[in-house]
Structure 1
């Protein structure tokens, strides 16, 4: 566009010279230089003013486009930084959560319960606990039975519930609302079945403060645990 503008101006100036020398002033003399200057200045100045205005408008448009591009780039950069920050935070959260779950699962190996039939450790301890509770729950007060079995078992048996309680508290406090349900499901899936049964027994017949973290996560509202809750009533 600029090139054609300058070409047009050049052609116009050439036309003015041609008109003045060959049409208007064939008998040109030094005295005609003044009128010639007035003629050229009177015609060139408006043209130069017009060109200046066009170039100024063009500069303003270019600056506006550059400013809009810079703003768009800044918005995109901020969006990218936020995405990277969110991803890093999510990865950090997941790493911490799975460390808590691994700790809970490793602690289950230290669980033990001593009965007349012998001493049981690890997953057998949880299984025996549930087995004894089921066999005596009909004939004995369940709250009293829970206390007796707690005395027979090591602290590690119930520390597993505490560890998983911490994991669910971590999810409740720090997981994003969009991902919270997914993390709760994963953590619950990784809990041993016997530990979930023990959790339901504690929910029915104890007032342990750690149960609040499970309740806040909606654990006891799930159909899979409602079966255990109803069974150990």
Structure 2
């Protein structure tokens, strides 16, 4: 019971006591009238007390009812917030399971990335992961140094992509970014800070050579997923914060 409710009940109790008491004092002591044996006199007294007390008690009853409704409303709002928080926590738990599974999947996909090159003895050599990325970067830099046009360099990248599936690696990264954007939306109770936390987490959990390959793909790929990533301003803010450059090659 609240303090206000206690005060209302105390006042109502005083009213119930004071009104009959004041009536008795007026007639028994001030007017010095004896107790009446007439039924109609007692009826008049009852009418007076009832007519005086009932409106006051009705008013207090309405106050208590309003107070109870306010408490019920606040309790319902609190319950709604608890349910919403529980739903948010459950959504976040489901999201994180999917998020980390996809991060693991993209890491496994990059572990399988390899290219074949010819050495100085014209022997075919297999390069995997970081070595493969480094060779691609060196080849592109070599073409740029030779003043090869951007169109020709893009064609060179496209040949490598078609042969070794760089686009699949980029797409796996894009899927995770899109997952963060869509699942941690404002309508579900999440904020920009929540999304950017997981964008940063994704980048930090991605191998550095893996990120360099993604940046290369971002510069030369023309697919819609590239436009999606480049137009995701919340994601780009984190990329800028972490010095992740999607145009790593400068054509002179």
Same-fold status (TM-score > 0.5): yes
Deviations along 1:117-136, one digit per CA (max 9) or x if unpaired, are 31022333223322333334
Alignment of 1:1-233 (within 5 A): 1-8=11-18, 9-10=20-21, 12-13=23-24, 16=27, 19-21=32-34, 33=37, 36-117=38-119, 118-139=125-146, 140=148, 141-150=152-161, 154-155=164-165, 157-176=166-185, 177-178=191-192, 179-218=194-233, 222-223=239-240, 224-226=243-245, 229-233=247-251
Cα deviation, residue 164, structure 1: 0.5
CA distance in 1, matches of 2:248, 2:129: 26
- CA distance change for structure 1 residues 144 and 220 in 2, over 3 Å: closer, same or farther? farther
Question: How far off its partner does 1:194 sit?
Answer: 2.5
Distance (Å, rounded) in 1 between the aligned partners of 2:15 and 2:161: 95
Aligned partner of residue 210 in structure 1, secondary structure: helix
State the aligned residue count.
219
Distance 1:5 1:136, change over 3 A: closer
> Any runs of at least 4 consecutive aligned residues in structure 1 with deviations exceeding 6 A, and if so which?
none
Q: 74-83 or 40-49, which moves further after superposition?
A: 40-49
Runs of 5+ unmatched residues, structure 2: 1-10, 120-124, 186-190
CA deviations over 1:40-89 (Å, ceiling 9, x no partner): 33333212221222222222221121111111111111122112212222
Task: State the partner residue of 2:8.
Answer: none
Return the alpha-carbon distance in structure 2 between the equivalents of residues 77 and 99 of structure 1.
33
Distance change >3 Å, CA 211–CA 6, structure 1 → 2: closer
- In structure 2, relative to structure 1, the CA distance for the partners of 1:20 and 1:180 (3 Å cut) is same
How far 1:2 sits from its partner (Å)? 4.3
Compared CA separation, residues 95 and 217, structure 1 to 2 (3 A): farther
- Secondary structure (helix, strand or coil) at the match of 2:92 reads helix
Query: Higher helix fraction: Structure 1 or Structure 2?
Result: 1
Q: Which position in structure 1 is the counterpart of 2:4?
A: none
What residue number does 2:3 align with?
Answer: none
Residue range with higher mean Cα deviation, 197-206 or 92-101:
197-206
Query: Can you give the 5+ residue segments of structure 1 that lack an aligned partner in the other structure?
Result: 23-31
Larger-gyration structure (1/2): 1
Q: How far, CA to CA, are the matches of 1:232 and 1:97 in structure 2?
A: 34
Worse-superposed segment, 195-204 or 56-65: 195-204
